[in-house]
Amino acid sequence: MFDSRHIKTFHAVVTAGSYSAAARVLGYTQPAITQQMKALERSVGTPLFTRVGRRMRLTEAGEALSRHAETILDTLTAAQQQMSSLTRLRAGRVRVCAFPSASATLIPEALARLAADHPGIRVELLEGEPPDSIRRLVRGECDITLAFTYPGLHEQVPEELVEIPLMEDQLTVLMPIGHPLARRRAVQLADLSEERWIAGCLRCRTNFLHECAEVGFAPDIAFTTDDNLVVQSLVAEGLGIAMMPGLVLSFMRHDRITGRALDPASRRQVSAYVLRDHLRIPATALVLEELKAVAARRVGC
């Protein structure tokens, strides 16, 4: 109903006491003030001023609007200041959902860089494995999702999302330090067909089974756990071997286990996902840039 310019002019007329005085305050001509007040009266559907001799008085409707005008203008000013803070990256909130090894590696470094240059931006961290983390993004529960995919799984990205590749994360076979194959620099998956295995999350386990099938065997999976520390402890006790991403090994390494690369190499793709329209939100775009910068230093991890 209201044009904010008309409310500002109305408030000036009420404060200054006349159209001519308001014109001087605002730097307008008196006819321009008159036109705006007529337009405002048409919007509300009733006169706001009445003349008594040479003086101008507020009608009942004018009195009512006058009581609200200052609050309206204060609210508009506060809104403009908040929008300015958001667009100039002095404030903002970004919700990031990430899988555990990304939360322990990429996220802290990116947030430290962000805090140094933009302390007003608040990042809330949620934890989730794909594909559930992707579904949370689609449902609007987060603004950015960090997830991983494997080349052989051919997963579809919902069309409303944009995928931003961050890095390739090399997979490593973990084994006890006394394992016979620990003397090699790299191992072939087919050479491990008789081993007992420890498998991880559903997506990792699906890829692991796929890769084993590709070289002709079905692995003996003795344990399944999403806890990376538990995986390493089981390996250290000689209860099995495991396929582990490089991001995990970069922050956690049991002193009684060792890792060997696969030959040929096996990798997973780590990407950020965001709703297409959210790429235009300054704080979200900035967090993405920081994540890309941090991930670029870990390529081939």
Instruction: Check whether 251 has a pLDDT greater than 90.
Output: no
Residue 129 dihedral angles phi and psi, to the nearest 5°: -90, 145
Whole-number Cα distances in Å, 270 to 37, 83, 130, 187: 59, 33, 11, 24
**DSSP tag of 157:** P
pLDDT, residue 83, reads: 64
Q: What is the mean pLDDT of residues 84-108?
A: 81
pLDDT, residue 75, reads: 79
Pairing mode, if any, of strands 257-262 and 161-176? antiparallel
Pairing mode, if any, of strands 144-149 and 267-275? antiparallel
Check residues 10 and 155 and name the one with the higher pLDDT: 10
Instruction: Check whether 241 has a pLDDT greater than 70.
Output: yes
Find tokens 């506060």 and name the residue. Answer: 78
Q: Using 50, 70 and 90 to split pLDDT, how confident is the model at 301?
A: very low
Q: Using 50, 70 and 90 to split pLDDT, how confident is the model at 89?
A: low
pTM: 0.70
Instruction: Check whether 300 has a pLDDT greater than 60.
Output: no
pLDDT, residue 299, reads: 61
**Cis bond leading into 264, ω under 30°?**
yes
Average pLDDT, the chain: 89
Answer yes or no: are the C-beta atoms of 290 and 162 closer than 8 Å. no
pLDDT one-digit tens code per residue, 103-146: 999 999 999 998 888 888 889 999 999 999 999 999 999 999 99
pLDDT one-digit tens code per residue, 78-88: 666 666 555 55
Which residues are registered as beta bridge partners of 243? 173
47-69: burial string, b at 16+ Cβ within 10 Å, e else: ebbeeeeeebebeeebeebbeeb
